[in-house]
Structure 1
Amino acid sequence: MYQNKPRGGLLPELDNEQPFQPTFVEPIATALRQLKGVLGDVLHSVYLSGVIAHRKAGEVEDLPLTLVTTRALAVQEFSALNTVKFRIEQSSDAVKRVQIDVVPLKDATNLANIFRWGFFIKHCAVCLSGDNLARSFGHFEVSWEVSKAMNDDLAPRMRELRQKIALATKWGTQLDAAQDAAEKLINASFGLVAYKEQKWAHDLVSASEAFLAHYPDKSLEIERLFYLVERKRVKKRAVVDLMDSFGAWILSEYARIDRKIG
């Protein structure tokens, strides 16, 4: 799973050469063909994260892809990516959902974003296609700066997902947004303790366990977030209330810790 671990507490990077589990080989290949067909030379490189990248996948998993592009995409290109997502989800029983994030090359390589994109590309993903930017970055250690950078989009992301839930007219749309919100909140909660743990959690269970070791009084909130991860049908108001209250608490903790460390 990992390449040889570097010295001195620095994190390892995922092994780019280890084969994926057989059920995900064809969906990944299909995704790459379709992404290249849609974006062509605009596509600089493609990265896979999550449990499939860590070779710990179950029978059915999400397929989280990060695209580095040579320029910002147009509205029509984002629309085409949605079509790609739909086709892969419909054609593979092994893929629950396809998640596609897009970052322009100039942002991914900007030193101001090194604790976000540098860390993610080096330690949280494998390169599926194109020029592997992981070679451009040295190994990182888990630090407060990394935790902040990896979760600095929490507030706008919660606003976006909150609106999706409010406007949802079908359970599928609501459950997707609620699951995304819950996963984001669990990962953000882990960010509060990662620098103490001196490790990075790549799955929700280990992230929540590390968090609760430091904040045991938040066990009820974590339990309710896992209801949403499991896509249980919960009324909109209850979902939004949980997002608002726990999200606000996490943001206040980030601010408190930042003042303390800074």
Structure 2
Amino acid sequence: MYQSQPRRGLLPELDNNAPLQSDFVAPVAAALRQIGAALEDVIHSVYLSGDVARRAADEKAELEFTLVTQRMLNVQEFSALNTIRWRVEQSSDAVKSVSFEIVPLKEATNFANIFRWGFFFKHCTICLKGDNLADSFGHFEVSWEISKAMNEDLIVRLKELRQKIALATKWGTQLDAAEEVAKRLIRASFGLVAHRTHTWEVNLEQCSAAFLEFYPDKSLEMERLFYLIQRKPVKKRAVVALMDAFGAWVNDEYAKIDRKIG
């Protein structure tokens, strides 16, 4: 999964050359071919993150792609990605869903974003196509700056998911949104303590365990978030109440720690 460990205190990077789990080889290759055909002139590089990139996926997993582009995509290009998403999701029982995050090259290489994109490309992805931006960065060590940068979009994304839950007319749509809410809140919670543990966890159970060592009074919230990850049917009102209350607490805690450290 990882390349050889760098010197003490620095984080390892994912092994770009190790084979993917067999169930995901074909759908990843199909996605890559279609991305290249649809966006050949605008793509700088393509990355894979998440459980599949870490070679730690279950029988079904999300394919999480990040596309670094020479410019922002237009409406037709976004439409082409939606078509690719649908085709790849239908191509294999192992693919739970497909997501694309688009990052213009200028943003990805801006030094002001080093704790977001520099850390992400170096330690959270494998490069599938193009010039690997990870080669532009040295290894990082866990810091408060990284935790902040990796969770800076939390409140914006929670608002989007809240709206998705409110408008959902099918259980599948609501369960998908609630599951993403839970995963984001658990990982954001871990971000509050990562600089104190000097580790960077990606496994949700490990994230939760590390967080609860410092915030044991939040065990009930963690339990309820894992209930959502299990995709148990929960009324919209209860899901929204949990994400609003705990999301606000996490956001306030980030601000509190930032004032203290800053």
Query: Aligned pair 1:53/2:58, yes or no?
Result: no
Q: Distance in 2 between matches of 1:80 and 1:233?
A: 33
Query: Aligned pair 1:41/2:41, yes or no?
Result: yes
Q: Distance in 2 between matches of 1:78 and 1:203?
A: 31
Q: Distance in 1 between matches of 2:180 and 2:82?
A: 17
Question: How big is the shift at 1:180?
Answer: 1.3
Q: Which residue of 2 aligns with 1:87?
A: 87
| Structure 1 residues 189-228: aligned runs within 5 Å | 189-228=189-228
Q: Which residue of 2 aligns with 1:99?
A: 99
Give the gaps of 5 or more residues in structure 2: none
Give the gaps of 5 or more residues in structure 1: none
Question: How big is the shift at 1:70?
Answer: 0.9
Give 3-state SS (helix, strand or coil) of 1:41's partner: coil
TM-score, L = length of structure 2: 0.97
Summarize deviations over 1:203-228 as a string: whole Å, max 9, x none. Answer: 21111111111111111111111122
Q: Distance in 2 between matches of 1:165 and 1:247?
A: 15
Give the letter for the 1:206 counterpart: Q
| Structure 1 residues 179-190: aligned runs within 5 Å | 179-190=179-190
Q: Distance in 2 between matches of 1:202 and 1:213?
A: 17
Q: Distance in 2 between matches of 1:71 and 1:106?
A: 8
Q: Distance in 1 between matches of 2:123 and 2:250?
A: 24
Q: Distance in 2 between matches of 1:111 and 1:14?
A: 22
Give 3-state SS (helix, strand or coil) of 2:46's partner: strand
Give the letter for the 1:93 counterpart: D
Question: How big is the shift at 1:185?
Answer: 0.7
Q: Distance in 2 between matches of 1:233 and 1:212?
A: 25
Q: Which residue of 2 aligns with 1:29?
A: 29
Give the letter for the 1:196 counterpart: R
Q: Distance in 2 between matches of 1:224 and 1:24?
A: 31
Give 3-state SS (helix, strand or coil) of 2:40's partner: helix
Q: Which residue of 1 aligns with 2:147?
A: 147
| Structure 1 residues 163-178: aligned runs within 5 Å | 163-178=163-178
Summarize deviations over 1:174-230 as a string: whole Å, max 9, x none. Answer: 111111111111110010000011111122111111111111111111111112222
Q: Distance in 2 between matches of 1:159 and 1:12?
A: 33
Give 3-state SS (helix, strand or coil) of 2:2's partner: coil
Q: Distance in 2 between matches of 1:37 and 1:234?
A: 41
Summarize deviations over 1:106-127 as a string: whole Å, max 9, x none. Answer: 1111111100010000001111
Identity fraction in percent: 69
Summarize deviations over 1:138-169 as a string: whole Å, max 9, x none. Answer: 11000000000000111111111111111112
Alpha-carbon contact 1:124-1:202 (below 8 Å) kept? no
Give 3-state SS (helix, strand or coil) of 1:210's partner: helix
Give the aligned length: 262
Q: Which residue of 1 aligns with 2:75?
A: 75
Give the letter for the 2:192 counterpart: L
Q: Distance in 2 between matches of 1:25 and 1:95?
A: 11
Q: Distance in 2 between matches of 1:172 and 1:77?
A: 27
Q: Distance in 2 between matches of 1:234 and 1:38?
A: 39
Question: How big is the shift at 1:129?
Answer: 1.1
Give the letter for the 1:256 counterpart: K
Alpha-carbon contact 1:50-1:203 (below 8 Å) kept? no
Root mean square deviation, CA, Å = 1.0
